[in-house]
Amino acid sequence: MNTLLKKALLLGGIFFIICIFFMSLLVFFVSRDLPDVDTISTYVPAETTKIFAADGTSIADLHQEENRIYIPLSKISPNIQKTVIAVEDTDFYSHHGVNIKGIFRAFFKDILTMSFDQGGSTLTQQLARNIFLNKHKSITRKLREILLAIQIERKYTKNEIFEMYLNQVYWGHNAYGIESASQLYFGKHAEELSLPEAALIVGLLKGPELFSPFKSYENAKARQKVVLGRMQRVGLITKEEARLAYEEKLDLAPRQRHRFKAPYFTSYIVEKLIQLYGEDATFTSGMKVYTTLDYKLQLIAADTVKKYREDSLRRGNTAHYSQAAILAIEPQTGYVKVMQGGVDFDESQFNRCIQAKRQPGSTFKPFVYLAALEKGFSPGSIINDSPISFNLGNGNTYSPQNFTKSFLGPITLRKALQESVNVVAIKLTNIVGPHNVVRIAHELGIESELRAVLSLPLGANEVNMLELTSAYGVLANNGFRVEPTCILRIEDRNGVPIYQHAIREKQVVEPKYISALVDMMKDVVTYGSGRAAKLPRPMAGKTGTTSDYRDAWFIGFVPQLVCATWVGNDNNTKMNKVTGGSIPANMWRDFMKYALENIPPEDFKRNTDLIERKINSKTGLVATDVSPSQDITVEKYWKGSEPTREDSTVPSQLIPASPTPNKNNQDEILDFFQMH
């Protein structure tokens, strides 16, 4: 018996030595290519880029697979810290990276089941696995995990390891790190989590998708109960505290319908970030992007667009339009305050504020009138609204028509703009030259290619809403151009500024011409085609309706804000007689009532170079006792060009002296005198 025992001990010793030998060889080979744990200090995990509105509201979290917001341990609720320790690694603060009892317990269970399903990993081992290793279960990977954990414990303090773990671990639904998880499930910061909330979130570590409260609240509560029971057994909470925590009703954060708030605006920001920094940095670098968006006003814009569309549908869609957009810009800064690029982002992500190129209709006319003012015309200058044909060459002629299919006869420039008279605008384009109208439009901010044709004032060229609204901003800003922007500043993940927007003004038109034009455009909303947009404060604007009612616009402004509204169909089909003075003007008014409710009324800067005269609006002559009372009005003229003859003589001031006749201009001059 003693001999058998000796042989058994001898064989056991040999087997043990062989095991130690092979284990040593395995450790040697495994340890040769272990990652350097020193790199953890320089390891930069993928972190979520956050986008904020001007008031600090978070409107987007950008991430690829890993939605992570890194925070220090001091910003993590003690409830979370003690719950994680209780459930995942009770001896965390006493071991040196490896829990020997846990490893052997897991090892023997694996031997019995002939699998590698058991854990037994400390928090340090889990950190090593998450950062350096894959999740494929094997003895080799387990050994590498143990060796790395021991090295990590030698290099870093327990609190440093715990902080890295809590920011690294996966909590479900692409939420990596406790801050992202806290905001995802409860809409609050990790430092605010209560015991019941902490127990539910920590319970997810066992199976983030299986125990997700969004997928199965019952499963999540069952797992929460297990976690609270574990905390009770290790003495962290009492039985009564566990019961109360389990019974407390939890308010989960609502799941977002889409990834972003203000999705049209935010998607535009994302595109800009990708252009600046590339896709990888945009979604993984943890930047903080501060934008110009007025989030409360953005919600009003979204509601306004939706309301008008729903009203139309309730009436059987008699207007026959399917899309609408609102864009608002601060003229002095160029800050885009609102960008509602469609009725519903979930139905269509196409952004009609920036991606759609549409004909602007008569919203282009102010550029024509501005060119005319620069050439010496006054608001009181008279043009004859009468039929005319232009020889375009090759036997082709162009005979423009008014929207009403009728003509008003002699009319002041002010009245022609007020009533959006097509023929007068085209005659003006011919007199000042289409190339000058194109020049003005480009100087004000239109970037799209413009063909210098006579039909310019009718919106013959396609533009996008952003450039058109920005160009109107020059009118609101007394001739000074400020490039539109949506981004104020960008910081890296550490709060270091990497981009800061600078406002740069450039005077592109003399203020006196802007003042004269704005004075005329004020009458568009007081007496003319934009009356439906009128607010009880100084404002100016212009309607636009394209041929066959394919587009309808209203662009209006006060000194502090310029806003454009548009309705139409993406497939460019006709609407049912929708004009810029109808739905767009009403939509503009409803939106701007909210936008301006805390902004005191302010008038536009006035030009001292204009002088007033009481005239006969049909002749352009100084009104006298013989002038018909219905034709008498007060008009404004550049000094030196004001009428001097009285209403009993032949008018000689019908055509300003400054414009130089060009092709077809001779016919225009004859037209003035043939009417008398």
Write down the catalytic residue from 362, 420, 582, 617. 362
Q: List % helix, strand, coil for the chain (3-state, nearest 5).
A: 45, 15, 40
Residue 506 main-chain phi, psi, to 5 deg? -140, 125
Q: How many other C-beta atoms are found inside a 10 Å radius of the C-beta of residue 382?
A: 29
Q: Are strands 49-52 and 288-291 parallel, antiparallel or unpaired?
A: parallel
Q: How high is the pLDDT of residue 65?
A: 66
Q: How far apart are CA 544 and CA 362, in angstroms?
A: 4
Please say if 362 is a catalytic residue.
yes
3-state class (DSSP) for residue 287: coil
CA 28 to chain centre: 55
Residue 387: how many CB atoms within 10 A of its CB?
12
Q: What is the pLDDT of residue 357?
A: 95
Helix 365-374 vs helix 434-444: crossing angle, to nearest 10:
110
What residues contact residue 43 under an 8 Å CB cut-off, 6+ apart? Answer: 131
Of 230, 222, 191, 231, nearest to 204 by C-alpha is 222
Active-site pick, 47, 66, 88, 163:
88
Give the pLDDT of residue 46: 77
Q: Mean pLDDT, 10 residues at a time, over the chain (676 residues)?
A: 64 62 49 57 74 95 80 95 94 83 59 48 86 60 76 89 91 89 94 96 91 93 95 94 95 76 95 89 92 98 96 90 97 98 93 96 97 96 94 86 92 95 96 96 96 92 97 98 98 94 96 96 96 97 94 98 97 95 98 96 89 89 89 91 78 40 37 31
In the residue annotation, 597 being an active-site residue is answered as no
Classify each residue of 526-552 as buried b or exposed e, where b means 16 or more C-beta atoms within 10 Å of its C-beta: eebbbebbbeeeebbbbbbbbeebbbb
Q: How far is C-alpha 311 from the geometric centre of its chain's CA atoms?
A: 26
Q: Which amino acid is at 217?
A: Y
Q: Which pLDDT score, from 0 to 100, does residue 17 have?
A: 63
Q: Give ∠ CA 654-655-656 in degrees, rounded to 5.
A: 120
Residue at 245: amino acid letter: A
Residue with tokens 């502090």: 560
Owner of token pair 């049912």:
576
Q: Write out pLDDT tens, residues 535-586.
A: 999 999 999 999 889 999 999 999 999 999 999 999 999 999 999 999 999 9
Q: What's the CA gap between 504 and 487, in Å, rounded?
A: 14
